[in-house]
Structure 1
Amino acid sequence: MTIDRLTRKDVVTATGDVSAADLARTMKERDVGSVVVVSDDRPIGVVTDRDLVLYVMATDRDPEEATARDLMSEDLFSVEAGDGVFAVMSRMADAGVRRVPVTEAGELVGVVALDDLVVLLANELGNLAAVIEAEMPPVTEVEP
Structure 2
Amino acid sequence: MTQKVRDLMTGPATTVAPDTDLGTVARLMRDQAIGSVLVTSGGGTIGLVTDRDLVVRGLSRTGHPETLPVKEICSADPVCVGPDDDASAAIRLMSEKKIRRLPVVQDGRPVGVVSLGDLAAERDEDSVLGQISASAPS
Settle same-fold status: TM greater than 0.5.
yes
Summarize the alignment of residues 1-144 of structure 1 with structure 2, pairs less than 5 Å apart: 1-122=3-124
Kept in 1: contact 2:18–2:69 (CA 8 A): yes
The letter for the 2-side match of 1:63 is: P
Structure with greater Cα Rg: 1
Letter in 2 for 1:62: H
| Aligned partners of 1:55 and 1:61 also within 8 Å | no
| TM-score, with length taken from structure 2 | 0.83
How far did residue 66 of structure 1 move? 1.2
What 5-or-longer segments of structure 2 have no aligned partner? 128-138
**Cα root mean square deviation, aligned:** 1.8
Say if 2:81 and 2:103, in contact at 8 Å, map to a contact too. Answer: yes
Percent identity, please.
32
- What is the DSSP-based 3-state SS (H/G/I as helix, E as strand, rest coil) of the residue aligned with 1:55? helix
Report the CA distance between 1:26 and its aligned residue. 1.1
* Number of matched pairs: 125
CA separation in 2, counterparts of 1:10 and 1:81?
A: 12
SS in 2 for 1:47: strand
- 8 Å contact kept, 2:19–2:71: yes
In the TM superposition, structure 1's runs of 4+ consecutive aligned residues that sit over 6 Å from their partners are: none
**C-alpha distance after superposition, 1:26-71 (max 9, x if no partner):** 1111111111111122211111111111122223332122111111
Q: Pick closer, same or farther for the CA change 1:69–1:6 going to 2, 3 Å.
A: same
State the alpha-carbon separation in 2 of the partners of residues 107 and 57 from structure 1: 29
Q: Secondary structure in 2 aligned to 1:36? A: strand
Q: d(CA) in 1 for partners of 2:102 and 2:76?
A: 13
SS in 2 for 1:54: helix
